[in-house]
Amino acid sequence: MKFQAVRFRTGISFAIRVGYAGLAYLVVLLLARWMSAVEYGWYAIGISVATIGIQVVGLGQPTAVLRFWPAHMARDEPALAWGALRQATLLTLAGATVGSVLVFLGGLVLNRLASGVRLPVIAAIAGLLFVMTLAEFAASALRAVGSVIAALLPRDILWRIAIIAAGAAYAFLRRPLTSAAALNWSTITLLALVAWQAWELRRRIPPAIRALTPQYNHTDWRIAGFGFWAVAAANALIVWIDPVIVGTFVKSADAGHFFAASRTASLLGLVLISVNIVTSPLVSAHHHRGETASIQALCRSVAPGLLIFTTVGFLVLFVFAGPIMGYFGGNFASLAWVLRILAFGSAINTLFGPTGQVMLMTGSERLYLAVLLVTIAFKIPLEIVALRFAGLPGAAMVSAGAQVAWNLAPWVYLVRKMGIDTSVASLLRRPAPG
């Protein structure tokens, strides 16, 4: 694929992600205003637990299909590509089912042991976990076959509109919006969108490939599968564990406050997410053809967008942190410095470029997993201590530091061992000839 086409697809992906960012921000903001502080805190905890959970019960299959479908198709192995997709689909369904049942059963036990645990919220989390796991896989499978719009539009745009519409209906009818109701409506609407994506995925795969007898490369799958699963789970834990820690060791209302600040700071990662969506299958294909220079050229081609958007976005969040958090109502404006600290970590994460995705698509998932596990081992206890002695700003410092740590080590490895600079610093390097 020509770099102009990469930029075009990245532009489409970015446009959808901008729409997603606006709508997702509206969801976070409006629900904070429509719900009580306690209910919003439970909603934040529920979304965070479900988001971590989908990476655990998804068994790494979203990453696996992104890695193996393009790789087999690049080697003209359609039967193996078809087998990879079928196997990943079955594993995802099994993991989603078992995981959701275990979450619900665990909720029953917790409900008996602790009076503060809300069984309706646990049940809502279990249902949302099942559907979000399917949605995550459907999006990756559609990306693997080259359908970026079908992969992103349903969950990023239409789903958010449906959530806002439901919240607006509750507000119009002057009915209290509970955390369980918000989570359940999210589940119902997303399930309908996933059904459409499944139909679209089948339509995108040529009938000639679907007619093949699927073949399976179980050796490669076993070697890479655990790494994909563990990396996905560890990455989600690092990103989404903060509201859960705050809600556990402080109170649920503070979890909602931290959730709002972290989701606002994460807006700086929009361009990087768009880059990962478009380039992951290309990196896999280039790697399996031994085209390291092409991977570097891909990273360099998207670096200007990363640099410009991140710099401007960080300055906006830093300068206007108080008014931005004030839009959430209540005492959210007092979290201005929490937002500034989290925005710094998010900016550094983006400026490093697609380090994690390049590691995953080039067979270095085990090393990347080791980096993530070490980061988690330090982050969680340090964040608990920081909460005790420095409150939410202290927790934000630990969270931001973790983002720097889990990007720095993979970046050094890619530069020294593979000759690939994923960061915006690649703009300072002389392009390889040809």
Q: Quick: pLDDT tens for 388-428.
A: 888 999 999 999 999 888 889 899 999 988 888 988 888 88
Strand (E) or helix (H) holding 17: helix 3-34
* 259 vs 256: CA distance, rounded Å: 5
CB 170 within 8 A of CB 177: yes
Q: Which amino acid belongs to residue 31? A: L
* 348 vs 368: CA distance, rounded Å: 18
Using a cut of 0.75, tell me whether the model's pTM lies above it.
no
**Residue 256 confidence class, pLDDT cut points 50, 70, 90:** confident
pLDDT at 274 over 90: no
Instruction: Work out the number of other CB atoms within 10 angstroms of the CB of residue 281.
Output: 24
Q: pLDDT value at position 224?
A: 63
Q: pLDDT value at position 313?
A: 92
Q: DSSP H helical segments within 266-364, as ranges?
A: 270-288, 292-319, 321-326, 336-351, 355-361
**Residue 434 confidence class, pLDDT cut points 50, 70, 90:** very low
Instruction: Work out the number of other CB atoms within 10 angstroms of the CB of residue 266.
Output: 20
* 399 vs 25: CA distance, rounded Å: 20
**Residue 231 confidence class, pLDDT cut points 50, 70, 90:** confident
Q: Which amino acid belongs to residue 185? A: W
Question: How large is the average pLDDT for residues 170-179?
Answer: 84
- Cα torsion through 281, 284, 289, 294, rounded to 10: 80
CB 256 within 8 A of CB 72: no
- Quick one: what percent of the chain has pLDDT higher than 90? 25
Q: Quick: pLDDT tens for 131-164.
A: 999 999 999 899 888 887 888 888 888 998 998 8
Q: Residue written as tokens 């499978």? A: 141
CA-wise closest residue to 277 among 71, 62, 422: 62
Task: Tell me whether residue 327 is in a domain.
Answer: yes
- All residues at 6 or more sequence positions from 234 whose CB lies less than 8 Å from its CB, including other chains: 369, 372, 373, 376
Instruction: Work out the number of other CB atoms within 10 angstroms of the CB of residue 147.
Output: 18
Backbone torsions φ then ψ of 174, nearest 5 degrees? 55, 40
CA-wise closest residue to 365 among 231, 217, 220: 231
Rg (CA), the chain: 21
Q: Quick: pLDDT tens for 80-139.
A: 889 889 988 999 999 999 999 998 888 788 767 666 667 788 889 999 999 999 999 999
Q: pLDDT value at position 427?
A: 85
User: How does 344-357 read in b/e, with b if 16+ C-beta sit within 10 Å?
Assistant: bbbbbbbbbbbbbb
Comparing 38 with 5, the larger pLDDT belongs to: 38
Q: pLDDT value at position 142?
A: 92
Strand (E) or helix (H) holding 223: helix 218-249
Q: Quick: pLDDT tens for 329-342.
A: 767 788 899 999 99
CB 159 within 8 A of CB 189: yes
**Residue 320 confidence class, pLDDT cut points 50, 70, 90:** very high
Q: Which two tokens stand for residue 295?
A: 């991977």
Q: Which of 50-54, 93-97, 307-311, 391-395 has the lowest mean pLDDT?
A: 50-54
Report, in this order, helix, strand and coil percent for the chain, each rounded to 5.
Answer: 85, 0, 15
Task: Tell me whether residue 432 is in a domain.
Answer: no
Task: Tell me whether residue 231 is in a domain.
Answer: yes
Q: pLDDT value at position 11?
A: 60
Domain hosting residue 259, numbered range: 3-426
Task: Tell me whether residue 177 is in a domain.
Answer: yes
Task: Tell me whether residue 62 is in a domain.
Answer: yes
CB 61 within 8 A of CB 221: no
Average pLDDT of every residue of the chain: 84
Task: Tell me whether residue 137 is in a domain.
Answer: yes
Task: Tell me whether residue 37 is in a domain.
Answer: yes
- All residues at 6 or more sequence positions from 316 whose CB lies less than 8 Å from its CB, including other chains: none
Q: Which two tokens stand for residue 13?
A: 């992906």
CA-wise closest residue to 359 among 249, 235, 222: 235
pLDDT at 10 over 70: no
Q: Which two tokens stand for residue 103?
A: 């979450």
Number of domains in the chain: 1
CA-wise closest residue to 346 among 409, 399, 269, 406: 269
